[in-house]
Amino acid sequence: MSSIRQEKQISPSEKNTMAGILDSYPEYQTTAVLDKLRKTEYSYLDEQDHLYLDYTGAGLAAKVQYRHHQARLTNQLFSNPHSLNPTSEASTILVEKARARVLDYFNASPEEYTVIFTQNATGAARLVGEAYPFKRNQKFLLTFDNHNSINGIREFASRGHARTVYIPGQASDLRVDPAVLVSALTSRWDWRRATALPCRCKRGLFAYPAQSNFSGVRHPLEWISLAQKCGYDVLLDAAAYLPTKKLDLSDKNLKPEFLIVSWYKLFGYPTGVGCLIARRDAIARLSRPWFSGGTVQAVTVGIRKHFMAEDGTAFEDGTPNFLSIPDVHFGIDWLSHIDMSVIDTRVRCLTGWFLDRMKRLRHSDGAPMIHIYGPRDTKSRGGTVAFNFLDAKGKVVDERLVASESAAVGISLRTGCFCNPGGGENAFGLDTQSLRPLWRFSKSISVDDYIRIVGLPSAGAIRVSFGLASTAADVDRFIDFAEKTYGDRVTPTEGFPPREHC
């Protein structure tokens, strides 16, 4: 009866929307379970008439997640786990269960990997950066396309006298040329066999995102084993990748030394809990520059001596977030119940349909309304799309205008550089010569001055991203907004508030 009742509620516009996407992406039909969840666990979106298009910024939490959290805290007592009393033991048990559930989710052996809970993905990156044994004649190698949480590690590399080397992306699709990557990784390359010769010494640390938070590009996971054969430890930023794909750390070719996770990006709640999943042999090579509560087995004041904990807890500073970490366990169970492959299919279909329709947007004279940065199809990409609107005169619409006008009609999207300056530099074709004038300035420089100095048309781009609660109707609504708001319009270039950040 309930299914019949729901069928009667489908409007003509909804039927047209479904017909439109199924014509190009018939597999979208297999993800109907997510429409049911949208009407129940994520019903607050439609109840508030809100169009949420910022899943790369943060996932959305299901109502059941909040109910589970409330029930746990209402019915049980918990306290600081650094003790043996009953409430402390209750916290310890749930934290350790969550740690085990994380390893299980990634098919990671507890003998090979350890889970370190952090405040966020940035905290996980810092743990690696500050403790990695950088030294002279080593490199910190990373792609232009990286979040600032990874870019910041270059400061630790510099203190260790290691050299930071960036691998540029191609302006056309923001991907990396394989030959350029190989050249950067090693000069010891057997071109006849097209394989890297093994290196006995550690060349340094190689870091890259499994999926770009700027453009949605999915960089090859094969780079992990390639870099390791060339003598590098690998730091894989999986924050933008994991909301729609899984990683299997039991795969012998997919064993990064360090893996960064941000749980709220997967399932919205809890915030304030990230994760560093690290290989035990790699953790053993790290050297923390300080110690704190919870990280040591013993410390003395009479003589300045301390002994670090021998497992991953040596990297968990202070008291862990024991009231929220158990929610990670429930969130993983929730995603597993839905089935990640269903989420991946839906996001791929919506992204493809969105790109198809965005590419067709035109002003009445035939001029394009959109400039897309990165892949223009669904091949090797996720559900993140970066673009700018072009007005009737062909100039980039100021992102501050788009931010205010989209917010006014209940649309959440992202504007700016998304904490990924390298992605923006590649997208806008900025080279070293363009950026050289910045050396004349002190550390204090406004974003508007930066844009003026390097000659950018905007502070970045518009970013739309899809997730598990997204629907075809969401795409319809945004396309309608874009056509009505920016079609045949000449937009202002002045009168905006100063940009306070990227």
Maximum average pLDDT range among 21-35, 285-299, 304-318, 414-428: 21-35
Residue ranges of the chain that CATH labels 3.90.1150.10: 12-60+339-486
Contact 100, 114 (CB under 8 A): no
Indicate which residue of 199, 417, 419, 502 is catalytic. 419
Contact 265, 242 (CB under 8 A): yes
Give 199: exposed, middle or buried? Use CB within 10 Å, 0-12, 13-18, 19+. Answer: middle
pLDDT digits (tens, 9 = 90+) for 454-472: 777 777 899 999 999 999 9
Please tell me the pTM assigned to this model: 0.90
> Could you confirm whether 419 is annotated as catalytic?
yes
Is pLDDT at 196 greater than 70 in this prediction? no
pLDDT digits (tens, 9 = 90+) for 236-275: 999 999 999 999 999 999 999 999 999 999 999 999 999 9
Contact 118, 275 (CB under 8 A): yes
Residue ranges of the chain that CATH labels 3.40.640.10: 76-337
pLDDT digits (tens, 9 = 90+) for 282-331: 999 998 887 777 776 777 787 777 776 777 777 888 888 999 999 999 99
Residue 311: count other Cβ atoms within 10 Å of its Cβ.
12
Rg for the chain, CA atoms, rounded: 24
Distances (CA, A) of 72 to 66, 68, 130, 264, 323: 10, 6, 36, 19, 9
Would you list the DSSP string of 485-500? HHTT----SS-PPPP-
CATH 3.40.640.10 for the 76-337 domain, yes or no: yes
For the record, the structure tokens of 70 come out as: 């409330």
pLDDT digits (tens, 9 = 90+) for 330-378: 999 999 999 999 999 999 999 999 999 999 999 999 999 999 999 999 9
CATH topology of domain 12-60+339-486: Aspartate Aminotransferase, domain 1 (3.90.1150)
Q: How far apart are CA 461 and CA 472, in angstroms?
A: 23
Task: Name the band, by pLDDT with cuts 50, 70 and 90, for residue 450.
Answer: confident
Give 299: exposed, middle or buried? Use CB within 10 Å, 0-12, 13-18, 19+. Answer: middle
Q: Which residue pairs from 31-35 have beta carbons closer than 8 angstroms and sit at least 24 positions apart in sequence?
A: 31/342, 31/343, 31/345, 31/346, 31/349, 33/338, 33/342, 34/338, 34/342, 34/343, 34/346, 34/468, 34/469, 34/471, 35/471
Q: Is 459 helix (H, G, I), strand (E, B) or coil?
A: coil
Would you list the DSSP string of 203-272? -EEEEEESB-TTT-BB--TTHHHHHHHTTEEEEEE-TTTTTT----TTSTT---SEEEEEHHHHHS--SS
For the record, the structure tokens of 215 come out as: 């453009």
Is pLDDT at 8 greater than 60 in this prediction? no
Q: How far apart are CA 378 and CA 391, in angstroms?
A: 26
Q: How far apart are the first and last CA of the chain?
A: 51
